[in-house]
């Protein structure tokens, strides 16, 4: 296994062990709802990276065919998953900051009225 492949596998394993991401799934649903309603804007590059990454993962076409190269054939999928999770985590952090400012604004309005 090459050094590059080893680094990709290590990054993918670290991402998979990051249970805090899985705990953020309910937040992700809130983010999607607010984005769909036009209240929260996603970073354009992150949005497209996530969409294209998910399409690539679902697609039967691979840059490195898994059927022919076994474990090595999974490295491209693992790398894409690691990138998608990383981008999702960034957007969730941005959303939580945005959501916090929205909650503070609402609380202030309730106190004033």
Token readout for 42 is 């996603």
For tokens 């991401």, name the residue: 21
113: three-class secondary structure by DSSP: coil
pLDDT for 99 beyond 70: yes
pTM of the model: 0.59
**Which residue's entry shows tokens 């990138």?**
83
Query: 24-67: per-residue pLDDT in tens?
Result: 778 888 888 998 899 999 888 888 888 888 888 787 776 666 66
Q: In terms of C-beta density within 10 A (0-12 exposed, 13-18 middle, 19 or more buried), how is residue 106 classed? A: exposed
Give residue limits of the domains in the chain: 3-112
pLDDT in tens, 22-32: 777 788 888 88
- Tell me the Ramachandran region of residue 38: left when phi exceeds 0, alpha when psi lies from -120 to 50, beta otherwise: left
């Amino acid at each position: 296994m090459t050094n590059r492949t080893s680094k990709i596998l290590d990054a993918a394993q670290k991402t998979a062990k990051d249970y805090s991401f899985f705990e953020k799934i309910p937040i992700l649903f809130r983010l999607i709802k607010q984005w769909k309603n036009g209240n929260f804007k996603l970073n354009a590059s992150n949005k497209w990276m996530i969409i294209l990454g998910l399409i690539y993962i679902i697609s039967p076409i691979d840059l490195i065919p898994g059927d022919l190269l076994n474990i090595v054939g999974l490295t491209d999928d693992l790398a894409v998953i690691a990138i998608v999770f990383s981008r999702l985590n960034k957007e969730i952090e941005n959303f939580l900051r945005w959501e916090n400012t929205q909650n503070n604004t609402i609380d202030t309005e309730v106190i004033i009225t």
